[in-house]
Structure 1
Amino acid sequence: MAPTPENDAQLAGAALGLSENGLIAVAWAGFTLAACFVGLRCYARITDTHRLYADDYCMLAALFFLGTNAVLQTLQAESLYYVVYASVGLRPMEGLLDEGNIYVRYQFAIIALFWTIVWSVKASFLVLYWRLFDGLKADRRILLGVAAFTVAAYIGCWFASVWTCHPPSTYFDFGQCTKPIDVEGSVISISYSTAIDIFTDFLIMALPIRMIRNLQVNAKQKAGLAGIFSVGLIIIAVALVRLSQIVTHARADPVGLAVWGLVESSIAVVVGSLPPLKAFMTRTLARTMNRSKGASGGNSRVKYNNFDPQEEQSLSKSQARVGAIPLEDRSLNGSQDYHTKSVEGQIVRERDYY
């Protein structure tokens, strides 16, 4: 029986306003958006440094898992909506068991992929900070501790997913995980995994704080750098919305769970692609302005704040920047190669990897 305007009212949650095709569209729209940002990130890196680094490969892995998740969500959509519609009498009950078994098998893989995508983005930030902390032994020790905790949290999310059924061996038997303890366990699982996700994001964002505090730059520059390293707040905000939308409907709104899982994982990949793009866009804008001035017959040598790019030799050590991000040499005393550029009228000493 196909849903009609008269019996649509029996539906609840996201299924009431989102069709099967709509859910599939959400999955692929999120993947397409994320692919554009990851592609731009890789283009920026290759343009600037002629190579990709480990954090870029983490983001490529996240995009691969996101694409795989979109495929599985597409394959699962028919059985998902069959279960939802059958629960309110809009599909024959005879096929519920078979479709339900298909649904739960896909669901386990989709949940596992969701956490793998989000944690791949976290890994990208951790690898990036490892390079930035080159020569800073104390900061690297702290980073290793955070990384170990993050890995343990990822494993914990897998166990939390399994223990939504009691006993766990009944997880793949549709209809066997509807006991009161299972419903309660599902809410606890979603709440725990979201809380640990948010907590690890805060830990990762806190890693560069000491480095930023030690920079010998003005407050505005420090605020800009802190903003770049705080983009994880966007992911946290989406995770909180996801939790608020599904925590009271862990069993009754599987479509809502699917939608918000797709939204959060897609946004996580987009946000994880942002940090390297700031410097690239800044340099692109500067080059465009230089070309515009040259074409109009003006002085093609850009000059801001009474600073001439040709005065590179007189640049002090405290004016060094990493990829247009001010980083104090005293805090980053590694052995990487540097090269200088003129960006918006200021000399930039840039690490080849950023």
Structure 2
Amino acid sequence: MVLNYTEIMVLVWVLWGTCLVMTVFRGSLQWYTQHRLHADDHFVFLGLISLTGLSVVITRLLPQFYLSGDYVKAAVKDPLTPLPLPPDEMAERTRTSLKLMFCQMLLFWTTLWSAKFSILFFFRRLVNGLPKYIRAWWASFVVVTLLYLACMLSNFLTCAPLKKYWSATGCSDPEDLRRSDASIKFATSADVVADLIIMILPLNLLRKLQISRRQKFGLGLLFSLGSIIVAFAFARLAQVTKATSNITKDPTTVANGPILLSMWSHIESAVSIIVATLPVFRYLLNKNIRGSNTPGRYGTPGYSSGQYGSGQKRSRAKNILTVTGRSQDTAFRLQNLRDVEDTESQTELKETDGITKRVDVHVEEMLRTPATRPKGLA
């Protein structure tokens, strides 16, 4: 279904406004909770800037494609239908619109991959300090980057030679349309593969977390957000290839191709930015799970999967000190305790320095107080 120009403009700018609100709210929430912005936040901002450019370009180029589409529909019924504009002006406006269409695809892939990199760098913060997962993250980062470059390159290879892309007739030959169809399918495949890589990456970590089923379910949803983008990628592919698959059967369908491409490219781009803003709202989810998020005497609590009371910490510290034996000194035992904390940090959603500090305080108090000092310690 092809919307009219007014309907598409409403859709485009409502989606842009939604992305703007979500991005501003994300940045404000990050600054309020952490007093800083991370790489994943900056990628969302980059995506919003790119989406803004995409919205402007689509607003600028669509009038000409609607004009051309109406002329093609009329010419199919009556081949003697005159051009709606003087030939020279019509050709110049068509060339300008095709140049904007070329820029539109570059902005589209940049917006889409900005959202992917945002989610990828968000996960990078979760696995910080875990060498195995860091290596897997770097491998994923390299593959996702190469897929982005491949999509950008495919835009330059759709039309040969490139200057033909913005000629008066554009890439309208059957061979050009076949190449365009292959390019769209390849780029969509790269888009889906990148999303799957980003989703699969944290699944092994999620399986090993010692947290409640409710929290695992919440994190599973968080790590599966890319499936929303995948769904819209397939919807975009199904709509756009209608114009490139039926090469000579329906000129009207071919004429609607640029309109469908612009509309669905913007929809998928906007959805990707909205999805990329969602992980930051884990703060609200964790606040509801824990019941509160008030800073304590040992520092500001982070986004951990749970909190232990001081009595539980003291009991855990005492057990670890007992297991280590008499021959080890206090410093080594404290280091063992920190190693346990580092292992449990796999369940965290960010670094929580306050917990380590609190454990150290309890252990040091136990060692100084004769009543609580473990047997065997001098």
Task: Give the equivalent residue in structure 2 for 1:322.
Answer: none
Q: What are the superposed Cα offsets for residues 215-248 of structure 1, whole Å, 9 maximum, x if unpaired?
A: 1123443222111111111111111111111112
Q: What SS does structure 1 have at the residue aligned with 2:169?
A: coil
Distance in 1, matches of 2:284 and 2:33, equals: 8
The answer on 1:48 being equivalent to 2:22 is: no
Deviation per CA, 1:128-169, whole angstroms, max 9, x where unpaired? 122211121121111111111111111111221222212233
Give the residue type in structure 2 aligned to 1:73: I
Letter of the 2:34 counterpart:
T
Q: Does 1:63 align with 2:48?
A: yes
Aligned residue pairs: how many?
298
Distance, in Å, in 2 between the alignment partners of 1:44 and 1:199 is 31
Equivalents in 1 of 2:349, 2:9: separation in Å? 47
CA distance in 2 between counterparts of 1:131 and 1:286 reads: 21
Q: Does residue 266 of structure 2 align to residue 262 of structure 1?
A: yes
Residues 99, 332 of structure 1: alpha-carbon distance in 2 compared, 3 angstrom cutoff: same
Q: Distance in 2 between matches of 1:259 and 1:334?
A: 36
Q: Which moved more, 1:234-243 or 1:172-181?
A: 172-181
Structure 1 match to 2:222: 228
**Quick check: 1:165–1:177 contact (8 Å CA) kept in 2?**
yes
Cα RMSD between the aligned structures? Answer: 2.8
Question: Residue 118 of structure 2: SS of its match in structure 1?
Answer: helix
Please name the residue that 2:328 is paired with: none
Aligned partner of 1:202 among 192, 196, 207: 196
Q: What's the counterpart of residue 73 of structure 2?
A: 88
Residue of structure 2 equivalent to 1:314? 312
Q: Deviations over 1:16-46 (max 9, x none)?
A: xx22222222221111011111112112111
Matched, 1:99 2:59: no
Q: Which residue number corresponds to residue 113 of structure 1?
A: 107
1:278 to 275, 282, 290: 282
Which structure 2 segments of 5+ residues have no match? 76-82, 245-253, 295-306, 317-341, 356-378
Q: Which has the higher helix share?
A: 2
Is contact 1:82-1:96 (8 Å) kept?
no
**What letter matches 1:272 in structure 2?**
A
Asked whether 1:168 is paired with 2:162, we answer yes
CA distance in 1, matches of 2:227, 2:14: 22
- The residue aligned with 1:79 is 64
Residue among 166, 174, 181 paired with 1:187: 181
Counterpart of 2:62, as a letter, is A
Alignment map for 1:206-217 (pairs within 5 Å): 206-217=200-211
Please give the alpha-carbon distance, in whole angstroms, between the structure 2 residues aligned to 1:312 and 1:174: 75
Contact 1:135–1:334 at 8 Å: present in 2 too?
A: no
Residue by residue, what CA displacement relative to the aligned partner does 1:27-80 show, whole Å, maximum 9, x if unpaired?
211110111111121121111111211111110110111111111111212222
1:324 is matched with none
Bigger mean CA deviation after superposition, 177-186 or 157-166: 157-166
Deviation at 1:111, TM superposition (A): 0.8
- Distance of 1:248 and 1:333 partners within structure 2: 46
The code of the aligned residue for 1:19 comes to N
Aligned equivalents of 2:168, 2:194: Cα separation in 1: 33
Structure 2 Cα separation of the partners of residues 215 and 175 of structure 1: 58
Contact 2:123/2:202 (CA < 8 Å) preserved in 1? yes
Is the Cα contact below 8 Å between 1:166 and 1:181 reproduced in 2?
no
Q: Which residue of 1 aligns with 2:122?
A: 128
**C-alpha contact 1:215 1:328 (8 A) present in aligned 2:** no
Q: 1:126-165 residue pairs with structure 2 within 5 A?
A: 126-165=120-159
SS, match of residue 47 in structure 1: helix
Question: TM-score, normalised to structure 1's length?
Answer: 0.77
Distance 1:258 1:334, change over 3 A: closer
Which of the pair is proportionally richer in strand?
Answer: 1
Q: Percent identity?
A: 26
Q: CA deviation at 1:258?
A: 1.0
Q: How far is 1:92 from its partner?
A: 1.9
- Decide whether the 8 Å contact of 1:162 with 1:171 is kept in 2: no
Where do 5+ consecutive residues of structure 1 fail to align?
Answer: 1-12, 291-308, 318-326, 341-354
Secondary structure, in 3 states, of the residue corresponding to 1:154? helix
8 Å Cα contact 2:125-2:350 kept in structure 1: no
Distance 1:57 1:335 in 2: 17
Letter in 1 for 2:37: L
TM-score (norm. length: structure 2)? 0.72
Matched, 1:248 2:242: yes
What is the DSSP-based 3-state SS (H/G/I as helix, E as strand, rest coil) of the residue aligned with 1:171? helix
> Hey, what does 2:344 align to over in structure 1?
329
Instruction: Tell me whether 169-178 or 123-132 shows the greater mean CA deviation.
Output: 169-178
Equivalent pair of 1:187/1:248 in contact (CA under 8 Å):
no
**Corresponding residue for residue 294 of structure 1:** none
d(CA) in 2 for partners of 1:284, 1:36: 23
For 1:298, the equivalent position in structure 2 comes to none
Q: 1:118–1:269: 8 Å Cα contact kept in structure 2? A: yes
* Distance across 2 between alignment mates of 1:314 and 1:112: 55
